[in-house]
C-alpha cells in the first residue's frame, strides 16, 4: 500500500500524526497542516498513486469515490449549501508538492476565479 518516502503514505501507515476527518477502506481525509481556507481537507486514496497522470481506467471509480467523499464531508461540515471548492493539482507547475494524489476540499470563505 505505501511508498516509504511518501509523506501521505506515512500518514496512512500511522507513522506521522494527522487530524483525520474521515477514513474507510478506500480513502482517508485529513485537515491540511497549512490551510488555505477555514476548512481545508485533503482526501487521499489509500493506494499510492503519484499524480492524476498515473490514474488508469481501472481507477475511475476511485476518482468518483473521492469526489463523493468530499461531498459527504462538505455536508457534514455544514458548507455544502454555501459552497466549497474541490481541486486536484497535477505536477509541480500546477502546485502539487506531495506526489500522492490528493483532492483538496476548501470552504468557509469566498473564492475568486481564476485561482492564483
Domain-embedded: residue 116: no
Exposed e or buried b per residue across 50-77, where buried means at least 16 C-beta atoms within 10 angstroms of its C-beta: bbbeebeeebeebbebbeebbeebbeeb
Q: Which of 34, 27, 35 is nearest to 8 (CA)?
A: 27
Q: What is the pLDDT of residue 59?
A: 94
Domain-embedded: residue 30: yes
Q: Provide the 10 A C-beta neighbour count for residue 3.
A: 13
CATH of the domain at 73: 3.30.428.10
Q: Is the pTM of this model over 0.75?
A: yes
Domain-embedded: residue 63: yes
Domain-embedded: residue 100: yes
Domain-embedded: residue 53: yes
Q: Indicate whether 68 pLDDT > 70.
A: yes
Q: How many structural domains comprise the chain? A: 1
**Which domain covers residue 66, as residue numbers?**
7-107
- The catalytic position among 59, 100, 102, 104 is 102
Domain-embedded: residue 1: no
Domain-embedded: residue 69: yes
Q: Indicate whether 2 pLDDT > 90.
A: no
**Predicted confidence (pLDDT) per residue in 75-114, tens digit:** 999 999 999 999 999 999 999 999 999 999 999 999 999 8
Q: What is the pLDDT of residue 61?
A: 96
Q: What is the pLDDT of residue 116?
A: 66
Q: Is 15 a known active-site residue?
A: no
Domain-embedded: residue 112: no
Amino acid at each position: 500500500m505505501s511508498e516509504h518516502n511518501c509523506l501521505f503514505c506515512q500518514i496512512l501507515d500511522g507513522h506521522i500524526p494527522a487530524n483525520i476527518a474521515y477514513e474507510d477502506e478506500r480513502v482517508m481525509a485529513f485537515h491540511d497542516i497549512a490551510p488555505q481556507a477555514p476548512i481545508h481537507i485533503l482526501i487521499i486514496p489509500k493506494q499510492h498513486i503519484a499524480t492524476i497522470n498515473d490514474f488508469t481506467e481501472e481507477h475511475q471509480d476511485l476518482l468518483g469515490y473521492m469526489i463523493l467523499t468530499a461531498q459527504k464531508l462538505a455536508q457534514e461540515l455544514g458548507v455544502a449549501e454555501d459552497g466549497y471548492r474541490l481541486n486536484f493539482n497535477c505536477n509541480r507547475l500546477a502546485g502539487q508538492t506531495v506526489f500522492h494524489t490528493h483532492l483538496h476540499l476548501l470552504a468557509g470563505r469566498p473564492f475568486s476565479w481564476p485561482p492564483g
